Amino acid sequence: MTAITTPTTCGAPRPVRYWPAELLLAGYRRFGPVFGSGGRHGFVYLLGAEANRFVLANSALFRWRDAFASLMPVDGETALIVSDGADHHRRRRLVQPAMHHRQITGYLAVMAENADAVIGRWRPGQVVDVYQQLRSAIRRSTIQSLFGRRLAAGADFFGERLQALLDLTDRLPQVVTAHQRLRTPLWRRAMTARAEVDQRLFAEIERTRRGGADTDDHVLATLVHGRDEDGAGLSDQEVRDQSVSLIAAGYETTSAAMAWAVYFLLTTPNAWERARAEVSAVLGDRPPGPADLRALTYLNGVVHETLRLCPPGVVVPRKVVRDFAFAGRTVRAGSTLLYSPYVTHRLPELWPRPLQFLPERWDASQPGYRKPGPHEFLPFGGGPHRCVGSVLATTELTVMLARLVARTSLRLPAQRVRPVSLAAMRPRHGLRVEVLDRG
């Protein structure tokens, strides 16, 4: 991976590059859209927009459960991300209503409140790790929005326990399997943490099933009481698994994107000032409401451009269950296929000046604007397995960035910024900023 030293007075830093993914980009340019190694049980890379289109349109060729088995220690065996076929369809239909856009716009005040609580503790002259600080705000906001204030009061509890699980799964699948087989200290810590998380969640699930006070106005109630067309609902284990997935993915990937958005705003000439001017013109001093989100054109561009350059999933795996042909190559059943949003988002044939941070490329009023297809811009995947929390994530990023640029002036000290993790690319050592002013 590359270390990016952010300057304080001289020119712009080098573009953010994550070198394991850059090797895939180089492979695409040298070998074309299909290449790989290891035979039937090896890895095959399908890269580029047409490869994405093929993968997303042919879900019957692949299994998710085998590809994402290393996430089961965190998410559980019934989570959407490890579900296939009829099980996935049924569970997604029961989870989807809780993540509807109209539902999410009801969370805007919670998002702003949690951002303001963190920003309000900063003082001029202070240097803070904005990644960790806003990660805390996003975690509390996600839990409070989806599961209510009772569980949000334990946001730090969930953060500490889930981190033990995330530390385990932020490794290659075979490494996770080895930890499990050997019952290493890392595995035992993770399983202890999982048991503590489960105890608290199952108690809240039971309370919600009994109809306890304040249990009918959040996502957990939707998961507990939802029924499909046959009148069947989710079991307690299924509710637990969807809940943990929503919490962990909700803050792990969103906080990484938030850090990169701040990084780009502070290293792109005039970007912070443009975002602040827009927020001031649209909102004044108040937090954004549902009617304001579309009006924040430049800030929406910041969010989308951040997700283009630093997508939550650098690569996305599938397990191949049937032989198929693509681009003149045969891919065998048993292979692990990987496609890459990172690679697609940096192709010059799709994105002029692909390494530059250009929020205005997302403004439909600008000359040369082109709306990308779902196979060309896919930070949250696509097809039937597209991330169910994508609207929540983009909304949370927009709301919290609006509060950040409205209430603070920040400076990025010189530091080494190292991208890490194929699952949720984030700055390895956080992102330090100096607080110049706070409103």
- Domain spans in the chain, listed from the N-terminal domain onward: 4-147+239-438
Residue 284: alpha-carbon gap to chain centroid: 29
Residue corresponding to tokens 């919600």: 208
Please tell me which of 14-18, 227-231, 402-406 the model is most confident about, judged by mean pLDDT: 402-406
CB 107 within 8 A of CB 395: yes
CB 432 within 8 A of CB 130: yes
pLDDT digit string, tens, across residues 250-288: 888 999 999 999 999 999 999 999 999 999 999 999 999
In this prediction, residue 13 carries a pLDDT of 60
CB 136 within 8 A of CB 252: no
- What's the mean pLDDT in 134-146? 93
**C-alpha separations of 164 from 154, 191, 229, 396, 413 in Å:** 16, 9, 38, 25, 30
pLDDT digit string, tens, across residues 53-102: 999 999 999 999 988 888 888 889 999 999 999 999 999 998 888 787 67
Residue corresponding to tokens 């698994």: 241
Residues within the annotated binding site for heme?
387
* pLDDT at residue 197 is higher than 50: yes
Residues within the annotated binding site?
387
CB 197 within 8 A of CB 158: yes
Identify which has the larger pLDDT, 214 or 45: 45
CB 312 within 8 A of CB 257: yes
Per the structure block, which two tokens stand in for 280?
């001031």
Percent of the chain with pLDDT over 90: 71
**27/343 Cα distance (integer angstroms):** 10
pLDDT digit string, tens, across residues 341-377: 999 999 999 999 999 999 999 999 998 899 999 999 9
CATH of 4-147+239-438 among 1.10.630.10, 3.40.630.190, 3.20.20.70, 3.40.605.10:
1.10.630.10
Helical packing angle, 130-147 and 155-169, nearest 10°: 110
**406/384 Cα distance (integer angstroms):** 37
* pLDDT at residue 223 is higher than 70: yes
pLDDT digit string, tens, across residues 162-174: 999 888 887 777 8
pLDDT digit string, tens, across residues 5-64: 554 433 456 789 999 999 999 999 999 999 987 666 789 999 999 999 999 999 999 999
Q: Could you tell me which residues come within 8 angstroms of residue 410 by beta carbon, excluding any fewer than 6 positions away?
A: 130, 262, 266, 272, 433, 434, 435, 436
Percent of the chain with pLDDT over 70: 94
Report field, pTM of the whole predicted structure over 0.85: yes
